Structure 1
């Protein structure tokens, strides 16, 4: 991608756990476009943090593994303290997300009628390459979550999100693991943040699939989101 670095008000938050194999390429791709990338090393046992720093990222470290939700919260707290920070992006460290999708989502946010844009694999004309079993779990999570259903979201567990400072300043994720995604949606509903989806493509590689969550975790995410929504009514 041959694009000049710009977007000085945007901060890209990359939660990472044992991603030494791919983190350099992920950070390098982002740094071709964005001035500010913060990698939250979530207690990695490998060289993820050092590699990310050499690739040009700000690096914040958790001494132990706390989970993706905690890493995102740490990254947002770091970014929202920076002068001029106005746009915030959560971006996975395993190479599944595309910079061009971030730019499209930022363009959508810039219209000013929404506070947060969430990527979706299941809307628009984008062809979803999501593995069948994963697709069933993700669609079930969106349908069974009261907040997702109320907000008309089709892919509530998509990790690619772009949001403004209103969301960043008030974000308070307390669920450290993968179930933070459901909590994020609940916070959108509770805080009446204006939300929309943008079609994105997820790049499923052998590496990224090897990092995926077991089926049992996927089922837990579905029921966690359902129960959390029921309890907060």
Structure 2
């Protein structure tokens, strides 16, 4: 199994994230997406395989690069996408792998923050944006997904071989869901806990990204099929 960690300017946390993952899953590829800090060097020192984009291309491109790298490794059968900012838990990955082995044998399991109602740890505005994004996405509704933009995913070789993300930025999550629907991959959700820290919440522009996700959902709803 390979864990794909897309990273951009994560020097302050990447070593701890990689070390934590490798306590359970030794095969980690960190895609340094054009960072100008020590992200790549620290990830390598922590034991990850490192692939570097010379310029910042966006999370979608980093995930695609990481999956392409991982699927070339001998014996690669399961793949995980795992955020670099410390929000994801290794224990949730273990539970999602177990979900992959259940009788219905999904091709992909996506983490959900909404398995047991509104999660108290999710900031209220982000919660509204995430639920709105799921509601306006035709593919998410068709597949019955509650948290389609969760970055924690476990999937099999079928999905890895068919994955072709062309949207490089945050809208890659919507494209990922569309690919699931178009390819008729079997999908399931599993409850996960997202660790919101001051650091993870300070990364990027979460509100703007959320608005972009919702806008992307409206745009896709209006695109001819």
TM-score bucket of the superposed structures, by smaller chain: over 0.9
Contact 1:138 1:157 survives alignment (8 Å): yes
Q: Decide which of 48, 64, 73 is 2:39's aligned counterpart.
A: 48
Alignment of 1:1-233 (within 5 A): 10-111=1-102, 113-124=105-116, 127-233=119-225
4+ residue runs over 6 A deviation: none
Distance 2:56 2:65 in 1: 13
TM-superposed deviation, 1:228: 2.1
TM-superposed deviation, 1:231: 1.7
What SS does structure 2 have at the residue aligned with 1:79? Answer: helix
Distance 1:216 1:125 in 2: 25
Distance 2:224 2:47 in 1: 41
Contact 2:28 2:48 survives alignment (8 Å): yes
Distance 1:213 1:76 in 2: 26
Distance 1:28 1:75 in 2: 18
TM-superposed deviation, 1:218: 1.4
Contact 2:136 2:221 survives alignment (8 Å): no
Contact 1:126 1:201 survives alignment (8 Å): no
The more displaced of 103-112 and 139-148 is 103-112
* Compared CA separation, residues 229 and 11, structure 1 to 2 (3 A): farther
* Compared CA separation, residues 62 and 74, structure 1 to 2 (3 A): same
Distance 2:163 2:99 in 1: 21
Unaligned runs of 5+ in 2: none
TM-superposed deviation, 1:128: 4.1
TM-superposed deviation, 1:82: 0.7
What's the C-alpha RMSD, in Å, of the aligned pairs? 1.3
Residues 116-149 of structure 1 show CA distances to partners (whole Å, capped at 9, x for unaligned) of 0000001137944110000000000000000001
Distance 2:118 2:43 in 1: 31
- TM-score, scaled to structure 2: 0.96
Q: Which residue of 2 aligns with 1:5?
A: none
Residues 138-181 of structure 1 show CA distances to partners (whole Å, capped at 9, x for unaligned) of 00000000000110000000000000000000000000000100
